[in-house]
Amino acid sequence: MKIIDGKGLAEKIKLELKSEVEQIRAENGNIPHLAAVLIGDSPASASYVRNKVRFCEGAGFESTLIKKDESITESELLEIIQDLNENDDINGFIVQLPLPDHIDEHKVTMAIDPKKDVDGFHPTNIGKMVQGLDSFLPATPYGIMTMLERYGIETSGKHCVVVGRSNIVGTPMSILLSRKSNPGNCTVTLTHSRTKDIGEETRRADILIAAIGIPNFVCAGMVKEGAVIIDVGINRVEDDTRKRGYRLVGDVDYDDVSKKASFMTPVPGGVGPMTVTALMMNTLKAAKLKTS
Ligand code: NAD
């Protein structure tokens, strides 16, 4: 079994982005600039945003963090988004999800200028993606597509089973892998909580993508010998042996499934770093579009 080292690949791409940034800077003095809006004090969200800011520094991007208390009103947040839309210094921005219950996530997503929507969640970008037009791809699926491409994993004609149909991972993943492209050209089955027999579907997968949010959901009995396993899940499970009292596990039982897989992503160090990388690739693209 070969480990798909998302962390290592992210470091490699970071250097590639850095050299592109240096070139752009030398040509016209511009530096790609990403802003992140973080609401509340969820440790998981804070950690995701920290990783994004850190990656920016490593790749030579500028970054701005806008941190607001959980008590912010929806209209105050929409005003911040409007300011970011109009700020010429910012090439792209994200609003870290989830948001507090009193804020409508859909309204927030809709308020972001699609030209600055580097998370790729706006319906304009999703619609373009569905039609195979140039757009900002949703960061996690884009990161996974990049991993498949860079590891030279054949996807054409393969059967891909996606578990989980969220708007940000499962559904866009199923669309990207079924597109006429490379990677792509898969026959895709999209499964979810109402699927009758998940195991029956997953056992037919040449490529299995798990994005559910249930620790160790996928076991070896659900996997075909030689399958490629992409584990998107990031779940905190209690662990008294760790200083912080928990450890991160995926949606796939790594020890069990790795005995059957041909390629597999670890958690942590697999899809997570590639999501951040994809966000930066989108930000560089936004910066280039602005100057072209
Ligand atoms: P979500 O909660 O929005 O969606 C979960 C999906 O799983 C739903 O479509 C649901 O139908 C399906 N599901 C739930 N129970 C199921 C069951 N028993 N059988 C089959 N399907 C079931 O989740 P999400 O935002 O897509 O995230 C999924 C996981 O991926 C979470 O652990 C999340 O933390 C992680 N995640 C990781 C990254 C990353 O960068 N690595 C990015 C986004 C999300």
246-249 and 235-238 strand pairing: antiparallel
Low-confidence ranges of the chain (pLDDT < 70): none
Ligand 1 pocket test target in 94, 166, 222, 236 with most atoms within 8 Å of CB: 166
Q: Closest ligand 1 atom to the C-alpha of 275?
A: 40
Pick from 199, 209, 134, 206: nearest CA to 165:
209
Q: What are the structural domains, with CATH classification, of the chain?
A: 28-114 (3.40.50.10860), 139-271 (3.40.50.720)
**Could you tell me the distance, in angstroms and rounded to a whole number, from the CA of residue 213 to the centre of ligand 1?**
4
Q: Report pLDDT for 51.
A: 94
Give all strands of the β-sheet with 92-95 in edge-to-edge order: 62-68, 33-39, 92-95
- How far is the centre of ligand 1, averaged over its atoms, from the C-alpha of 231 (Å)? 10
DSSP 122: S
Among protein residues, the one with the nearest Cα to ligand 1's atom 18 is 193
By residue count, the chain amounts to 292
* pLDDT, tens only, 72-92: 999 999 999 999 999 999 999
Six-digit token pair at 71?
Answer: 């008590």
Q: Per the structure block, which two tokens stand in for 188?
A: 């895709």
Q: How far is the CA of 20 from the centre of ligand 1 (A)?
A: 34
Measured from the Cα of 235, ligand 1's closest atom is 32
Retrieve residue 238's tokens: 């209690």
How far is the centre of ligand 1, averaged over its atoms, from the C-alpha of 135 (Å)? 24
Say how far apart CA 116 and CA 93 lie, in whole Å. 6
Pocket lined around ligand 1, Cβ cut-off 6 Å: 140, 163-166, 168-170, 191-193, 195, 198, 211-214, 232-235, 271-272, 275
208 is written with which tokens?
């299995």
Omega of the bond leading into 138 within 30 degrees of 0 (cis):
no
**What is the token pair recorded at 283?**
């930000």
Q: How far, in Å, is the centroid of ligand 1 from the Cα of 215? A: 10
Residue 61 near residue 14 (C-beta atoms within 8 A): no
Ligand 1 atom 16, closest CA: 193
The per-residue pLDDT for 290 is: 80
The residues that are catalytic are: 52, 96, 119
The side-by-side arrangement of strands in the sheet containing 228-231 is 2-3, 263-264, 228-231, 207-210, 159-163, 187-191
- Residue 8, H or E segment: helix 6-28
Q: CB under 8 Å to 222, separation ≥6 — which residues?
A: 198, 199, 202, 203
b (16+ CB within 10 A) / e for 125-153: bbebbeeeeebbbbbbbbbbbbbbeeeeb
| Residue 276 alpha carbon, nearest atom of ligand 1 | 40
Q: Whose CA is nearest to atom 17 of ligand 1?
A: 193
